[in-house]
Amino acid sequence: MRNFISFLLLLLWLSFGAWFFTCQVMNLCVEAKPVPVKTVIKAPPSKVEIIDPKALKKAYNSVFTAEEDLTLQKSKEEVIFSESFPASLDQIAFFLKKHTKTRLTITGNYAKDEVNESAFPDLGIARAEQIKAQFEAKGVNAQQLILQSSVGEGLFDENGRSSNNDVIDFRFSENYEELNETDVKAAFKALRKVQKEAIFSRNDKEIAINERVDKAIDDIVFYLNRNKDQGLDIEIDYEDKEDSGLEGQDIGLLRAYFLKKKYIDKGILKDKITIASNKDFGIFDANNKAKVGAIRLNFIFPDKTDESKLIEMQLEKALEKELSNQTLLANEENLKNENIQEKKKEAKEEKQYADAGKTPPSKSTASDSKKQKEITFGFGSDQISVSSNLQKYVNELKAFLAKYPDKSVTIIGHTCNLGEEQFNLKLGQNRAEAAKKLLTESGIYSSKLVVKSKGEYVPAYDNTTREGRAKNRRVEIDIH
């Protein structure tokens, strides 16, 4: 018995010694922590109808197909439906019945020289009424269908038959911003074009991109630059027996990365693009070219259940619109063109001196500053003219910053691509400073505001048109 007690004491002593050395000397023991009680905070109910991006893309694809399935005869109110139209109609009707807050605007087009013998004000409305009846027969609420008409150019060929797909226009609209965005339909159409016309062959890691696809990629980039809260998802198929040239790496992911790189090269942040691959079979035709459907793109929408984030996004968009309007100068393009002409004149003079073997006369700094007309925004305290809309959104921003004191605001100035890059960076800075001046004079603390310029580098519209350049002269707001 005594030996047994001695053995137990020895065992306890050895256990204590092992613990002391391990935990106290070597400090290798993990301190036991109480298991935290998980507190579940329910998000407030969203005021916005949540729409799955895949469902929205499918609905838009049905819209594009439906528009292609309709034809007209000149001066006739009847709309001619193709055999495939009912399938598109079913898909659009299903989407509308599931999302009852969503509206569908149906625009019937007509030509000025058509003879209207219908009971309606014009043939456009008469044609839209026929489409409306089709949707109502499918169970769509009439309140979700909005009718309008528009005069179209070049609608009919020499035989009086519609010559394009613009006879009826469908457009979703609602307070959900991915529907309400005026050009979102064009963005989804650009996605569709990339999916249909970008081509790859068996065992090819790269994707062939023609001029039309490149233009569609540009349109997607512009859309993402306008909607910085959104992203892009790319998924591309591959077959099991394809050779990627890299052990353990499927070729579908390499194709997706190739396409992602195209967007990154055009200025989209890499973190905004997700890529994936999908193993499938029968994706190639007899010529080893990928069939349509092997490339899938879609936009990534922000989380609309986060109420504070939703308020942020709404405030950003509203402030961007108002501040862009109030920092846009009517003569900005003319001043920039004058600068370009002055630069050309200087270059021509320098060439003439060089051809003659002479050194051009030196120019003073003052002379240079006159040549390069600076575009400034002269908002003095007595010149501030804050619109009622801007004041409303400024008040909302003040309330938001008071509620979330850790938040701040970055103001980013943008320009079109006319003129030199450094000049445009300075111009963008001036625009951002002008916007900051408007905000501080309206009651926002200067310490909450940071200004930046991206000049011409992040276009939100096509710079090849005067209208696109005007829209690129804008202010971007980032609440963070």
Q: 342: helix, coil or strand?
A: helix
Helix axes 307-326, 388-403, angle to 10 degrees: 140
Residue 84, token pair as written in the block: 């495939």
Averaged pLDDT in 10-residue chunks for the chain of 480 residues:
60 59 44 36 50 91 95 95 95 95 94 95 96 97 95 90 86 71 84 96 96 96 92 96 86 96 94 96 95 96 80 88 76 64 69 68 48 44 60 89 92 90 89 87 90 94 88 91
- The DSSP code for 462 is -
The CA-CA-CA angle for residues 349, 352, 356, to 5°, reads 145
For 51, how many CA atoms within 13 A lie in the half-sphere containing its CB? 28
Across 396-417, b (16+ Cβ under 10 Å) vs e yields: ebbebbeeeeeeebebbbbbbb
Dihedral sign, Cα of residue 450, residue 451, residue 452, residue 456? positive
Contacts 24+ apart (CB under 8 A), 290-294: 290/199, 290/200, 290/201, 290/237, 292/195, 292/196, 293/195, 293/237, 294/200, 294/236, 294/237
At the fourth CATH level, the homologous superfamily of domain 184-302 is OmpA-like domain (3.30.1330.60)
**Sequence-ordered list of residues with C-beta below 8 angstroms from that of 449, at least 6 positions apart, any chain:** 408, 409, 410, 411, 436, 439, 440
Strand-by-strand arrangement of the 475-479 sheet: 449-455, 409-414, 475-479
Strand-by-strand arrangement of the 231-238 sheet: 273-279, 231-238, 295-300
Confidence (pLDDT) at 441: 83
AA identity, residue 475: V
Residue 104 zone, left/alpha/beta (φ > 0; ψ -120 to 50; rest): beta
pLDDT in tens, 27-49: 444 444 333 333 333 334 445 57
Q: How many CB atoms lie within 10 A of CB 385?
A: 8
At the fourth CATH level, the homologous superfamily of domain 53-177 is OmpA-like domain (3.30.1330.60)
Q: What's the fold here for domain 308-335+374-479?
A: 60s Ribosomal Protein L30; Chain: A; (3.30.1330)
Q: 403: helix, coil or strand?
A: helix
The domain ranges of the chain are 53-177, 184-302, 308-335+374-479
pLDDT in tens, 209-257: 999 999 999 999 999 999 888 999 999 999 998 988 888 789 999 999 9
Q: Do 53-177 and 184-302 come out as alike in CATH topology?
A: yes
Quick one: how far is CA 407 from the chain centroid?
Answer: 24
Does residue 163 contact residue 187 with C-beta atoms inside 8 Å? no
Rounded to two decimals, the pTM is 0.77
Residue 375, token pair as written in the block: 């575009």
Rounded Cα gap, residues 429 and 451, in angstroms? 7
